[in-house]
A = this chain, B = another copy of it.
Amino acid sequence: MELDNEQQVQQAVHALTDLLENGQDDDFMTEFMTLHDFEKGQVYASFSKNIREVAWRVMDDETLATVFDNLEGDAEEVVDLLQEVPPQKGANILVEMFADNEADLFQAMPARLASTYLALMPDREAQEIRNLIKYEDQTAGALMATEYLAVAAGSVVKDVLAQVKKQAEEAESIIYVYVVDEKHRLVGIVSLRDLLTHPDEMTIESITNTRVISVKAGDDQKEVAQVVADYNFFAIPVTDDDQHLLGIITVDDIVDVIDEEAVEEYSGLAAVDVSDTDDSPWHSALKRMPWFLALLVLGLISVALVASFEHTIRQAPILAAFIMVIAGIAGNAGTQSLALAVRHFGSSTDKSFWKNLISELLSSFVLAILAGVVLFGFVFLWQDNEGLALAVALSATVAILLSALLAYLVPAALRKVNLDPALVNGPLVQTVVDWAAILVYFGIATSMLNEFIGK
């Protein structure tokens, strides 16, 4: 499927390039307009720079706005493309774009460039954008578009439908119409479906749903996504603290949020950014290097820890054989606890924190006891040495409980001080668990040395 799309885009790029090179500008536009909006962005970005120089001259501002609304990739790259057109034309394109995409570009551009564009815009548009870009990244405010359909309470169906028809071209979504009071406070929602299926002269009140589900501009995008996913909405309104309607977030942006959050959590767990797929090996290695080096250096601490027990190992070399399984099984339990903690914190409140922690510890306790029993049995049967078996089993049990506690508490502590818990990743947990396991195991083994040595 992916391939089909790529092939189609390449074909379109060739055909459209030919038309422009032959001076068939009108045919070019006719052909270009048959593309899906998403493809318009893909095709424009795939044109050679020379062709783009001609293409933007042929296209009207509105079409270019559709192109820029649909360009994928980093906002920085989109800004680069925007700078290929003269500043005034760039400003016009920005004005025609959907406000959420426009705000994204403003947030990605250098302050000086932003000032230039703002100065070239109508005052009202410039003010609107200044309002939008003040919202923090990853909040509802940063996601919302300001192109929505609002009608006053008291209208009748026929008039609202007329307004829908008039504004249909500009609104980001016409599936819902928002009913506001005289102070632009959101009081209800009417679906286009209801508008179409009720008599022309009916008042809008009688088909308005006043149990409005909305989000606040400061709400985290993750929570917003959860609400939209739960309720199966196509769009959700965004208000300020006094219920004034500020904008709407459409489900296509929610899809992107869910994808983005998933990639972030997954990357966090593995300590590698999986979002870039076409880096060169060298770039990919450079990106992985910071975590890799950090984990290597932290790993060296475990070397020093084991070395400090060299005396014990000298007396009982067989001890060296068990440290990896103890650290390994504790690390696995820790990774599992971490995964559960990261996912659960995402959707739970402080209130349930201790409940979750205790539940997780109880669950780990069951696994820890199980591991202890299995290891005791294995070591006892293999080495016929109950002292050694006890030391190994006890160490594993303690280490597993410690690692679960650690994997649960550290992300929570980070969140408390407003750091991203995704900083704690699977390999990091494994490394720290290694230290704990070494200390617990060799500590217990050294103190029990007389119990099993020489047996």
Contacts and interface: CB of A to CB of B under 8 A. Distances in A.
Nearest to A220: B1
A270 B328 contact: no
A104 interface: no
A255 B229 contact: yes
Contacts of A304: 321
A241 interface: no
Given A251-B255, A270-B339, A329 B299 contact: yes
Interface stretch (A31-39, A49-57, A78-86, A114-122): A31-39
Contact of A274 (B165, B295, B339): B339
B328 A434 contact: yes
B313 A317 contact: yes
A427 B349 contact: no
B164 A196 contact: yes
Interface in A266-321: 266-267, 269-272, 274, 277, 280-282, 284-285, 288-289, 291-293, 295-297, 299-300, 302-304, 306-307, 310, 313-314, 317-318, 320-321
Nearest to A306: B321
Given A36-B213, A168-B196, A234-B234, A1 B219 contact: yes
Given A272-B340, A340-B272, A307 B318 contact: yes
A335 interface: yes
Contact of A295 (B321, B328, B362): B328
B295 A329 contact: yes
Nearest to A42: B230
Number of this chain's copies in the assembly equals 2
B168 A281 contact: no
B277 A347 contact: yes
A237 B329 CA distance: 48
A252 interface: yes
A281 B404 CA distance: 13
Contact of A306 (B209, B227, B258, B320): B320
B292 A367 contact: yes
A348 B274 CA distance: 14
A228 B211 contact: no
Given A192-B174, A296-B371, A35 B320 contact: no
Interface of A: 1-3, 5, 34-38, 70, 72, 161, 164-165, 168-169, 174-175, 192-193, 196-197, 209, 211, 213, 215, 219, 223, 226-234, 251-252, 254-256, 258-259, 262-263, 265-267, 269-272, 274, 277, 280-282, 284-285, 288-289, 291-293, 295-297, 299-300, 302-304, 306-307, 310, 313-314, 317-318, 320-325, 327-329, 331-333, 335-336, 338-340, 343-344, 347-349, 358-367, 370-371, 374-375, 378, 426-427, 430-431, 434, 438
